[in-house]
Amino acid sequence: MKKFTNVADIGDINKALAEAAEIKRNRFAYTGLGRNKTLMMIFFNSSLRTRLSTQKAAMNLGMNVIVLDVNQGAWKLETERGVIMDGDKAEHLLEAIPVMGCYCDMIGVRSFAGLKDKAEDYEDRVIEQFIRYSGRPVFSMEAATRHPLQSFADLITIEEFKTKPRPKVVMTWAPHPRALPQAVPNSFAEWMNATDYDFVITHPEGYELDPKFVGNARVEYDQRKAFEGADFIYAKNWSAYTDPNYGKVLSTDRGWTVDAEKMALTDNAFFMHCLPVRRNMIVTDDVIESDRSIVIPEAANREISAQVVIKRLLESL
Ligand code: CP
């Protein structure tokens, strides 16, 4: 594997899940693989889980890790070509990227969608430039359109908790006060569509995702109907994708908050969320604190998904 930005890069899903299970049984089995190798993690946006789990995964493989928060202590970076750089941005990404590549063997990048220009966001311009100009294997720690390390961890978690071969998995939009990218729901949908699960997406009208990611999922606008018989409820907020409302918050209707009454419609479903989560906007306290909430094991699996990906990239060096 030379890069990891989407589900196609992981290849055979069952093989990847088997590798994840093997790593989880003994996460220190490959400590020699990363010896004298350096991972550079570059953050254009904040993080708790991705930062910690990815660094831990690299350390499990014996790697050295450098973390750069671009907006704290580095030169402000220009990302557009052709710009006259007479403003506050001192360095262009097109020099910064190959320079960063000089100091490491592999690069992880987090760069969210700006939510102003759909075409620019959906080109995933920043991570694509890293792939093109760094000379190193690159993996996504959440890019503009996808969050594949999260989705892989979500899939590992569903496989661990499912009690039937073909569970019903429902991804539900839920309210949030700020405009969030579509990366997590896009990516979750992409990974669920790569499985044989019964996958349903529910959201208010106006929150339709890019059809490329929705794929063969069933879309149900009635949240309660969608919840009926579900085995997993995956809650997430996202801003509007469709024009002319791209990147906008169209609703903060708390009628869409996941609560105990809606969870009672399910087949005793597990509750999932990628975190961080806004309590009593996305989900009520009692649901996230219930014994059917698996948000912590889900977050713990971020270390495992990252370790599979970094291991495969090390093997390709
Ligand atoms: N789920 C996730 O990616 O968490 P962070 O934004 O804290 O890394």
DSSP string, 139-208: EESS-SS--HHHHHHHHHHHHHH-SSSS-EEEEEE---SS---SHHHHHHHHHHHTSSSEEEEE--TT-P
Q: Name the residue at shortest CA distance from atom 6 of ligand 1.
A: 47
Q: For residue 80, what pLDDT band results from cuts at 50, 70 and 90?
A: confident
Tell me the C-alpha distance between 150 and 303, whole Å.
Answer: 10
Specify whether the CB–CB gap between 148 and 108 falls below 8 A: no
Q: For residue 226, what pLDDT band results from cuts at 50, 70 and 90?
A: very high
- What's the first-to-final CA gap in the chain, in angstroms? 9
CA of 39 to the centre of ligand 1 (A): 19
Phi, psi at 169, each rounded to 5°: -115, 125
CA of 234 to the centre of ligand 1 (A): 15
Identify the CA nearest to 10 among candidates 144, 128, 139, 108.
139
| Single-letter residue type at 154 | D
Tell me the C-alpha distance between 124 and 143, whole Å.
Answer: 7
The confidence score (pLDDT) of residue 219 equals: 98
Residues forming beta bridges with residue 77, ordered by sequence position: 91
Tell me the C-alpha distance between 135 and 101, whole Å.
Answer: 6
Which ligand 1 atom sits closest to the C-alpha of 51? 8
The confidence score (pLDDT) of residue 71 equals: 87
Q: Name the residue at shortest CA distance from atom 1 of ligand 1.
A: 274
DSSP state of 256: G
The confidence score (pLDDT) of residue 108 equals: 98
CA of 277 to the centre of ligand 1 (A): 10
Protein residues whose CB sits closer than 6 Å to any atom of ligand 1: 47-50, 142, 150, 274-276
User: For the whole model, what pTM was predicted?
Assistant: 0.97
Specify whether the CB–CB gap between 173 and 203 falls below 8 A: yes
Q: For residue 151, what pLDDT band results from cuts at 50, 70 and 90?
A: very high
- Grouping H, G, I as helix, E, B as strand and the rest as coil, residue 131 is helix
Q: Is the peptide bond before 167 cis (omega within 30 degrees of 0)?
A: no
Q: For residue 128, what pLDDT band results from cuts at 50, 70 and 90?
A: very high
Mean pLDDT for 17-32 is 98
- Choose one of 41, 43, 50 to mutate for the ligand 1 pocket test, by most ligand atoms within 8 angstroms of C-beta: 50
The confidence score (pLDDT) of residue 301 equals: 98
Which ligand 1 atom sits closest to the C-alpha of 149? 3
